[in-house]
Amino acid sequence: MAKIYLLNNQKYSDVENLEVFQIEYIKSKIDLNKYDALIFTSKNAVYSLDSFNKDWKNIPCYAIALKTANIIKNLGGKISFIGSSGHGNDFAQELIALLKNKKVLYIKALKTVSDLPNILRKNEILLDELIAYKTSCKKSTAILEDNSTFIFTSPSSVECFFKQYTWKDSYKAIVIGNTTAKFLPENVKYEISSLTSIEECINLAKHSFF
């Protein structure tokens, strides 16, 4: 069976991790108690905020997808809403009616690709943003096998992979969503997972014949 590389550090059977980027938490002093709602579009935002301010657990949380919601629950947070699409812009549309007249904080990465903040502000949502983490490329020494499949889970994974490696015609790409797919070079053939989940990406990688 051809090798499957997952471009992050999460462990799964029959899959090899290819860590080409790393997460760095950005701590800040912020009074969370003035907010009525917190928006999370990433597990890293949850973990980072929890590392330096526990007050978030008292505030209703709005999570982009079930995976993020489960992390919020496991850490003791309050879930008010879970998005259905897993995509930032669609999530923003779902939030508009729910966040009217609320003071909202969006906990985010230094670099983001969705238009969520602008969508909410255009719809008169009182929104602040807190940069809680950033990604940076990490040197990889792995020698990649021909005919391998690569699972890209974020735009950062795409960016950092192609800074270090040259794509071969024998390679296959699986991407977790449409946003990540937009960052792939034009010569890369790929399939998009039907669900925004790494498990589904792995399943697709194991059974794909493109």
Going from the N-terminus, what domains does the chain have, and what CATH number goes with each? 4-20+138-207 (3.40.50.10090), 26-134 (3.40.50.10090)
State the pLDDT confidence band at 87, using cuts at 50, 70 and 90. Answer: confident
pLDDT score, position 209 = 62
b/e 4-41 (16+ beta carbons within 10 angstroms → b): bbbbbeeeeeebeebbbbebeeeeeebebeebebbbbb
CA pair distance 140, 161, nearest whole angstrom: 9
User: Are 67 and 176 in contact, with CB atoms under 8 Å apart?
Assistant: no
For β-strands 126-137 and 21-25, DSSP reports them as antiparallel
> pTM for the whole thing?
0.83
pLDDT band at 105 (very low <50, low <70, confident <90, very high): very high
Lowest mean pLDDT among 24-33, 53-62, 199-208: 199-208
